[in-house]
Amino acid sequence: MTLKSADGGDVRVLVSDPNSDHQQGDVLEIIGTLSPENCLECFVTRSMGRDFDLDLYNDLITKVMSPENGQYNEYFLPK
């Protein structure tokens, strides 16, 4: 399936959990890894509700993950 990400991009997602039951319009948190086919392979999915502010969330993630913050550079910047 293809989902819209918090920053407005499209993300291909592989969901292997048969208990995953989400409807169109739900805001989901998805934790997983990127497959060789550039799909997100889900480990965990959970609903964040339909009123979750994705713009605010994207701002938070952008600030936390910025190179200026430096806290996570070793994990997310090219070597």
The pLDDT tens digits of the residues spanning 34-54 come to 888 888 998 888 888 889 998
The per-residue pLDDT for 57 is 87
Q: Of 42, 36, 47, which is closest to residue 18 (Cα–Cα)? A: 42
Alpha helices in 8-72 (DSSP H): 54-64
Confidence of residue 67 (pLDDT cuts 50, 70, 90): confident
Give the C-alpha separation, 17 to 42, whole Å.
8
pTM: 0.62
The per-residue pLDDT for 17 is 65
